[in-house]
Amino acid sequence: MVQISLPEKSKVKKGKYFKDKTGSKNLKKINVYRWDPSTGENPRIDTYEVDMDNCPSKVLDVLNKIKNEIDPTLAYRRSCAHGVCGSCAMNMAGKNGLACTTPHADIDGDIDIYPLPHLKVKKDLIGDLDGLYKQYQSIEPWLKSSSKSEVTEIFQSKEDRAKLDGAYECIMCACCSTSCPSYWWNGDKYLGPAVLLQAYRWIIDSRDEERQARLKKVADELKLYRCHTILNCTSACPKGLNPAKAIAEIKKMLATANI
Amino acid sequence: MENRPPISPHIQVYRWQISSLVSISHRITGIINIIAITLICLWLSLIFLSESKYETINLLLNSLAGKFIILGITWSFSFQILSEIRHLIMDLGYGFELRTTKISGLIVIFGSVILTIIFFIIGKSFI
């Protein structure tokens, strides 16, 4: 359901202020969403003054600096730091992206950092993505073909292989799904851009033999047609993919195919 | 007390994009249009009832508030027409590149204002 305001226990309060101790002249204020599961208090925004003269270029570097030098209690996911693993997906300056590929110089003024929107928060910037992974599982994201092809190579033409471009590169960081208002209000039923892009990836794979069944499965008022081309997904994708177009292609297939 | 996890902020913090703005406006103008069509039907029925009722409505629509409502409805229809064309093109699978969505969104926003003026001028020439 559409729900504009946050529940009482989710309302964000003002938090602590960490004043700069380095004496640097080039300071930036970083406002970070914090929630500690052990206290039972409301989430809060902590503000850190960070010395930008001694800080590498990306938002993740700023967070690392805060964790290493100012406040070790800050929790966030990160791993590869090169835009490959998708762990450090978060909401920066009002837009979802990967902290490791977003330059802090691109953000004017204070930097606001929140977890991915409309998720159950586990701690600080870590959101609960279990629901999304379950939905991913539901589209059966693996190749389905008859037994004979299990022993031989399945050939694919260059043209058929090219159809997967723009779909297989997805790293499942959830930036797109959590940027989608439709997914906020109906995330329990609507599959969301990330999962639908993957559904599309298997539907158009020339080697897959369950195309019809896959299409039938996804053809659902709530699972698919909750996409209203708001296009937040495409503008959020840190890999430059286009989930909105993939969803439109699925809709087109369903409108023209006989199933 | 049970320590239930909070929901992370969503619409409160997410920055508006041109495409999301056009999308929500499409919905809002859609609702306005349904109400407007109902009112226009009511108005037409009243014309058939008597001249005095027609005069009352005429006076009402010529007041400042009435003019504002008429302009508002004209804009709402203009917006809906353009936005719907944009949606139809998208349903055919075109115009999903980020740049294109931005441009088509801006065309809808500014075009709706221009279309409102055109409709208004055409309407004026009938009176």
* Residues B17-74: tens digit of each pLDDT: 999 999 999 999 999 999 999 988 988 888 888 888 888 888 888 899 999 999 999 9
Residue B119 has pLDDT above 60, yes or no: yes
- Residue A47 has φ and ψ, to the nearest 5°, of -110, 130
Q: Do B19 and A235 count as a contact with CB atoms less than 8 A apart?
A: yes
Answer whether CATH 3.10.20.30 is correct for domain A8-127: yes
Q: Which of 175-234 (A) contact B at CB < 8 A?
A: 179, 181, 184, 228-232, 234
- What band does A10 get if pLDDT is binned at 50, 70 and 90? very high
C-alpha closest to that of B116 among B108, B105, B126, B127: B108
For chains A and B, CB pairs below 8 A equal: 111
- pLDDT of A28 reads 96
Secondary structure of residue A220 in the 3-state scheme: coil
- pLDDT of B113 reads 97
- pLDDT of B42 reads 87
- pLDDT of A101 reads 97
Task: Say yes or no: B33 contacts chain A, CB-CB below 8 A.
Answer: no
> Considering the domain A130-256, what is its CATH architecture?
Orthogonal Bundle (1.10)
pLDDT in tens, B104-116: 999 999 999 999 9
C-alpha closest to that of A201 among A255, A249, A158: A249
C-alpha closest to that of A55 among A43, A67, A73: A67
Nearest CA in chain B to A41: B3
- What band does A3 get if pLDDT is binned at 50, 70 and 90? confident
Q: Do B13 and A91 count as a contact with CB atoms less than 8 A apart?
A: yes
- What's the fold here for domain B18-126? 3 helical TM bundles of succinate and fumarate reductases (1.20.1300)
- pLDDT of A38 reads 93
pLDDT in tens, A85-143: 999 999 999 999 999 999 999 999 999 999 999 999 999 999 999 999 999 999 999 99
Q: Which residues of B touch A115 (CB under 8 A)?
A: 8
Residue B1 has pLDDT above 60, yes or no: no
pLDDT in tens, A179-206: 999 999 999 999 999 999 999 999 999 9
Which residue ranges make up each domain of chain A? 8-127, 130-256
Task: Say yes or no: A120 contacts chain B, CB-CB below 8 A.
Answer: yes
Residue B2 has pLDDT above 60, yes or no: no
Query: For residue A69, what is the DSSP state?
Result: I
Residue whose pair of structure tokens reads 């969301």 in the numeric block: A192
Give the length of chain B. 127
CA A49/CA A12 separation, integer angstroms: 20
C-alpha closest to that of B80 among B51, B48, B115: B115
Q: If you count DSSP H runs as helices and E runs as strands, how many of each does chain A have, helices first?
A: 8, 8
Percent of chain A residues topping a pLDDT of 90? 91
Measured in angstroms, the CA of A220 and the nearest CA of chain B are apart by 17
- pLDDT of A11 reads 95
- pLDDT of A146 reads 78
H helix or E strand, kind and range, residue A126: strand A126-127
Measured in angstroms, the CA of A227 and the nearest CA of chain B are apart by 11
CA B73/CA B30 separation, integer angstroms: 11
Token pair, residue A6, equals: 């946050």
- pLDDT of A147 reads 66
Contacts of B19 (CB under 8 A, 6+ apart): A229, A230, A231, A232, A235, B101, B102, B105
Q: Which residues of B touch A10 (CB under 8 A)?
A: 6-9
Q: Taking residues A233-257, what's their average pLDDT?
A: 95
What's the pTM?
A: 0.93
CA B121/CA A5 separation, integer angstroms: 42
H helix or E strand, kind and range, residue A96: strand A95-98
Mean pLDDT of chain A: 95
Measured in angstroms, the CA of A19 and the nearest CA of chain B are apart by 25
Measured in angstroms, the CA of B99 and the nearest CA of chain A are apart by 10
Q: What is the ipTM of this complex?
A: 0.91
Q: Which of 122-181 (A) contact B at CB < 8 A?
A: 122, 127-128, 179, 181
* Helix, strand and coil in chain B, % to nearest 5: 80, 0, 20
